Amino acid sequence: MSNYLSELAYYPVIMLIYSNVRGAKLKLWEIVTIAVTFFVIDFTWFYTIIGRILILMLLSYLRDKTLPFSLYVFYGSFTWVIESIIIRTISFFILPIFHLNYIDLSKSDGLFVIVEILVVIIYFLMVKLSKIDFQTFIMLSEVKKLRKILIFTNITMVFYYIGIEFLTGVEFQGGVPTLLYRQWLVILYFIFFVLMLFYMNRSYQNWLEKEVSLAREQELHSLSVYSKQIEGLYEELRAFRHDYANILASLKEGIDQDDMSMVRNIYNAVLEDSGKFIQHSRFNIGRLTNIDNDAIKSLLSAKFLEAESHHIEVELEVKDKIGAPDIPLLDYVRLVSILCDNAIEAAMEAEKPAMIIACFYQGDDYLLIIDNTTKEERVPVELIYQKNYSSKGFGQSIGLKTVNQMLKKYPNMSVQTSSKNYHFRQTIRIKKSFD
């Protein structure tokens, strides 16, 4: 019984590591579920050992059902593998320095507790020194090349864990010495494991740098198009001003001659249409000058022109000077791009294609509103962030999973969604951080 009580020390260690990896504290029911499940599994042997991984995978799925399967496997297996590597490294290679061994570890409650405390300390030191952010693995799983690396790492982790536990069981239950095999397995897999983690982290950073570079190129291209659009509007206004001067001269002649018939004809033929020219939505693009950030300005101008190319009436509301919100710019640009793309696609199917994009401050909060007309009178907003769903329906989602992940990543950001009277609206509110 004493020997079993010592093993209870690993429960909170596993929970701490698992909580850190998935990026969220455990709820009470999750703690109870883990404790009860581990308790049952520990009374069995090898055939149910995989249940330790499966229970953490299940809890990961219940917490967030939108993640890819490879991430559930990673959360479930990484926790056990890293604990296994650290504790076996200590028992195989460090304890002998103090004239102790892995047998002493299994017989001494106090020693086992001390070693488990060391496991926690070493783990968090490794995470801090390596600067690994497990939340980036969510983005990593969305990139095809990086997802393959993650899947390969998952497979090796599962095989390592089953293998090391099998060899341990063979020695302790079957009496066959396997220490040398376990030592080599721990050494080799530890080296491989660390290299793979660094490789995945580096690969993600390289991918991120490429994304930033592509975003910069797109920004420059969009700014160039925006500048040409503004120049074109200026030329139109200059021509209109010239024509308007001639129209006013004609009006003056009619007024001087007291010829109301001439005045009326000029108004009906020219001035009535000139009002429509001035109020045309393409002149809205000039309002983007109030956006101080070039990346956001270029993106919105590109989406404005894209919407107009699909014969969508676009209204821009940027009345006051506004900068960038208090989240990383690349993520915000991705967010706006996703929501605008969804709005354009949905508006194209509406009877009256139209969009409204508004940016403004409300106190210290940064607000972005994207409104579009829809084919249906009401879109079921309660389903909007489910897998494969968009404002166009199931199977046509464009990045809504990414939006959902951003909401979890940035607690200062929220999205309010509404739909009625053939209009679909999303309001993004980003609170200012006071770090």
Query: SS3 letters for 98-135?
Result: HCCCHHHHHHCHHHHHHHHHHHHHHHHHHHHHHCCCCC
Q: Does residue 200 form part of some domain?
A: yes
Q: Does residue 293 form part of some domain?
A: yes
What is the count of structural domains for the chain? 2
Question: Where does a domain end: 192, 214, 236?
Answer: 214
Specify whether 202 is located in the same domain as 91. Answer: yes
Q: Does residue 22 form part of some domain?
A: yes
Q: Does residue 228 form part of some domain?
A: no
- Specify the pLDDT at position 395: 38
Specify whether 94 is located in the same domain as 6. Answer: yes
Q: Cα dihedral angle (78, 82, 83, 85), rounded to 10 degrees?
A: 140
Q: Does residue 242 form part of some domain?
A: no
Specify whether 180 is located in the same domain as 308. Answer: no
Question: Where does a domain end: 159, 187, 214?
Answer: 214
Asked if 407 contacts 339 with a C-beta cutoff of 8 angstroms, the reply is no
- Specify the pLDDT at position 269: 59
Q: How far apart are CA 115 and CA 53, in angstroms?
A: 22
Question: Where does a domain end: 214, 232, 257?
Answer: 214
Determine the number of helices (DSSP H) and then strands (DSSP E) in the chain: 15, 7
Asked whether the whole model's pTM tops 0.85, one would answer: no
Residue 52 in tokens: 């330790």
Specify whether 32 is located in the same domain as 172. Answer: yes
Specify whether 205 is located in the same domain as 295. Answer: no
Q: Does residue 247 form part of some domain?
A: no
Specify whether 209 is located in the same domain as 294. Answer: no
The number of residues in the chain equals 435
CATH number for the domain that contains residue 354:
3.30.565.10
Residue span of the structural domain in which 322 resides: 284-435
Specify whether 10 is located in the same domain as 148. Answer: yes
Q: Does residue 408 form part of some domain?
A: yes
Specify whether 154 is located in the same domain as 299. Answer: no
Specify whether 291 is located in the same domain as 202. Answer: no
Specify whether 303 is located in the same domain as 209. Answer: no
Specify whether 64 is located in the same domain as 157. Answer: yes
Specify whether 289 is located in the same domain as 210. Answer: no
Q: In a structure prediction context, what are the per-residue pLDDT tens digits for the chain, which is 435 residues long?
A: 445 555 567 788 999 999 999 888 899 999 898 888 887 877 765 556 788 899 999 999 998 887 889 889 999 999 999 999 999 999 999 998 988 887 877 777 788 888 889 999 999 998 888 777 787 777 777 777 778 888 998 999 999 998 998 888 888 777 888 889 999 999 999 999 888 888 887 887 787 778 777 767 766 666 666 566 555 555 555 655 655 566 666 666 667 777 677 666 666 655 555 555 445 445 456 677 788 887 788 788 888 888 888 888 888 888 888 888 888 887 888 888 889 988 999 999 999 999 999 999 988 899 999 999 998 888 887 766 655 555 444 434 445 677 777 887 888 898 888 888 889 999 999 988 755
Q: Does residue 248 form part of some domain?
A: no
